[in-house]
Amino acid sequence: MSALTPTVLAPQGYQLPDEQRRALRWTIYIGYAALVAGVFHGLANALSYAKIDIIGYFPALRTYYQGLTAHGVANVLIFTFSFSNAFLPLMTARALARPLHSGLLWTSFATLVLGNVMVIYAVVTNQASVLYTSYAPLQAHWTYYVGLVLVVVSTWLSLATMLVALRGFRREHVGARVPLLAFLAIVSYLMWVLASLPIETEFIVFLIPWSMGITDKVDPLITRTLFWFTGHAIVYAWLLPAYVSWYALIPRQVGGVVISDSYSRIVFILFLLLSIPVGFHHQYTDPGVSEAMKALHGVLTFGVFFPSLATAFSVMAALEIGGRRRGGTGLLGWIRKLPWRDPSVTAQLLAMIIFVLGGATGLVNASFTMNQVIHNTTWVPGHFHMTVGTAVALTLMGVAYWLIPYLTGRRLWSRGVALASSWFYAVGILIFARGMISAGLEGMPRRTFRAQATYDSPAWDIGGALTGIGGSIMFIGVMLFFVTIGMTIIAGKKGDAPSDIPVSSTLTAPAKEGWEVRLDKFGFWVVMAIILILISYGPFFGTYLPANPVSPGYAPF
């Protein structure tokens, strides 16, 4: 094992000032609260596929689509970005050993809260049952769109806090490489902030004036296209913070090391370059987009598959080193030796395993012709509950098991309940996704309240039942998470909590000269990403614009 002695030891812990930790803690609480609030309708939706209708038991819920909007918005928009708004700056500060800019941090928090209040108002009063994709001509109250714009602005401010810290670091360490953990955190949000510009344009230029009655018609194709322009990259914005944990924290948590500094950086740069120019793979069936554009985006989608494959290799290697150091032998014996009794590790290992299936189903989606079979069926939520719903959500739950104790100074309330939560969730998703995927292949439609649908097929019965059973088990998993985290915050034993972030060491040091140094030139890579975006979206907008507003707004639910 001597060849595996790390050359770059993780620097010793840097602690943020208390007041900044408080801002981060409250930002993260919003995220986990959104996770828990969002899964109630997830349960109702899953049971509906098993033909069980519990919607009537939800106080104040008027329609299925109101609930489904709440589920999507809370779980994929508020949960993920609230978490990242705190987690990524925290990683940056720790890696650069610098405080953050307090003004920016609190402004980001306030913007997030204000955005949330507006979105919650619109959704709870049933004035925004447009689902998280906000497809026009479904029309929401303007507070919904403005609220989401503010949530996005809070992510920009969060990136700004990281960039200010980076500038300070660079000023004091002229010519030094950016520490790996900070690099990964910053690239994650650089990619996202670049990717968020189209959706902000969609909302500010088209949907907000239309929802306020300033314009009376909208162009559904342009708004959909702007949504997916951001909308594919958004899934990597959810994923990359989880990857930050898999790359830079999990190796330490299992006793391993990051296998290569440059490799990890290259993977993240590939995400910066390739996450955005692929959005038409969500619009293969849309009229008005040429086949050539769809084909180009299809090919690039296979390109963005690659850095995830590379991640699987790197993460697996780091785990194997950890498992072998812990005494594991043989081809697979190291897997048993991983710290399966550590709830933070177990949650993330289960998330990784399930992501293999999430990734594989992504390939079917991405394939132009196979997409025709599964588009708009429950196959698609089958896919994304194994990606964002597990690879991301279960990882962020796993991170909570050290992060909440770290931020509160309180010991995790119960390791056993935390472990049970992850296993419930993982077993649940496997049953749930099996149901969604098989019934999807039989054409069971997504976004449909099957319990009350007037059309049905016996071919959906088994898949629907599995969806209901698996979804219920997942729900129990999240409730156990909620109890664990809630009790930790209220009643966790003071003291005896982790005093530092589990930052991993790296096997190979960052190069001091040569081409690798260029990896840290963020401006250069952003320009490269913009060039790829122009190539992949320029022809569509060049030939299609100006927008063709033809549709008034509808609010049928």
Residue 304 interface partner, choices ligand HAS, Cu ion, none, CB cut-off 5-8 Å depending on type = ligand HAS
Footprint on residues 94-113 left by ligand HAS (CB under 6 A) = none
In the list 349, 399, 474, 529, the residue contacting ligand HAS (rule: CB under 6 A) is: 349
Rule CB under 6 A: is residue 453 a binding residue for ligand HAS?
no
Contact at 8 Å (CB) between 206 and 135? no
Options 30-38, 201-209, 216-224, 385-393: segment touching ligand HAS (CB under 6 A): 385-393
385 is catalytic: yes
Rule CB under 6 A: is residue 316 a binding residue for ligand HAS?
yes
Return the ∠ at Cα 197 (arms to 192 and 198), rounded to 5°.
115
Rule CB under 6 A: is residue 215 a binding residue for ligand HAS?
no
For residues 162 and 428, give the distance between their C-alpha atoms in angstroms, rounded to a whole number.
Answer: 37
375 is catalytic: no
401 is catalytic: no
Nearest-approach distance from CB 385 to Cu ion, in angstroms: 15
Q: What angle separates helix 18-49 from helix 102-124, to the nearest 10 degrees?
A: 30
446 is catalytic: yes
β-pair partners for 410: 494
Give Cα 356 distance to the centre of its chain: 16
Query: Which residue in the list 109, 145, 271, 384 is annotated as catalytic?
Result: 384
282 is catalytic: no
Rule CB under 6 A: is residue 392 a binding residue for ligand HAS?
yes
DSSP letters of 70-87? HHHIIIIIIHHHHHHHHH
Nearest-approach distance from CB 143 to ligand HAS, in angstroms: 23
Helix (H) or strand (E) holding 404: helix 393-408
User: Rg of the Cα trace of the chain?
Assistant: 23
Reading the block at residue 302, the tokens are 């296979």
For residues 359 and 372, give the distance between their C-alpha atoms in angstroms, rounded to a whole number.
Answer: 18
Rule CB under 5 A: is residue 410 a binding residue for Cu ion?
no
Rule CB under 6 A: is residue 383 a binding residue for ligand HAS?
yes
For residues 255 and 323, give the distance between their C-alpha atoms in angstroms, rounded to a whole number.
Answer: 7
Rule CB under 6 A: is residue 315 a binding residue for ligand HAS?
yes
383 is catalytic: yes
DSSP letters of 292-355? HHHHHHHHHHHHHHHHHHHHHHHHHHHHHHHHHHTT--TTTHHHHHS-TT-HHHHHHHHHHHHH
- Using CB positions, name the residue nearest to ligand HAS: 359
Options 311-319, 437-445, 523-531, 541-549: segment touching ligand HAS (CB under 6 A): 311-319
For residues 520 and 512, give the distance between their C-alpha atoms in angstroms, rounded to a whole number.
Answer: 11
- Using CB positions, name the residue nearest to Cu ion: 232
Rule CB under 6 A: is residue 260 a binding residue for ligand HAS?
no
Of 546, 556, 422, residue with least CA distance to 480: 422
For residues 336 and 320, give the distance between their C-alpha atoms in angstroms, rounded to a whole number.
Answer: 10
502: DSSP letter: -
Residue 315 interface partner, choices ligand HAS, Cu ion, none, CB cut-off 5-8 Å depending on type = ligand HAS
Rule CB under 6 A: is residue 186 a binding residue for ligand HAS?
no
Residue type, 245: S
Contact at 8 Å (CB) between 28 and 34? no
How far apart, in Å, are the Cα atoms of 340 and each of 43, 316, 386, 415, 474? 28, 15, 21, 11, 20
- Of the two residues 320 and 520, which places its CB atom closer to ligand HAS in the complex? 320
518 is catalytic: no
Nearest-approach distance from CB 388 to Cu ion, in angstroms: 11
In the list 177, 232, 383, 450, the residue contacting Cu ion (rule: CB under 5 A) is: 232
Query: Which residue in the list 236, 263, 268, 406 is annotated as catalytic?
Result: 236
- Of the two residues 30 and 234, which places its CB atom closer to ligand HAS in the complex? 234
Options 30-38, 212-220, 235-243, 544-552: segment touching ligand HAS (CB under 6 A): 235-243
How far apart, in Å, are the Cα atoms of 407 and each of 63, 78, 241, 400, 478? 38, 20, 18, 10, 21
In the shown chain, the binding pattern of residues 261 to 300 toward ligand HAS, with x for contact by CB under 6 A and - for none, equals --------------------xx------------------
For residues 184 and 265, give the distance between their C-alpha atoms in angstroms, rounded to a whole number.
Answer: 7
Name the residues that contact ligand HAS, by CB under 6 A.
Answer: 133, 235, 238-239, 281-282, 301, 304-305, 308-309, 311-312, 315-316, 319, 335, 349, 352-353, 355-356, 359, 362-363, 365-366, 371, 375, 380, 383-384, 387-388, 392
Q: Give the residue numbers marked as catalytic.
A: 232, 236, 383-385, 446-447
Name the residues that contact Cu ion, by CB under 5 A.
Answer: 232
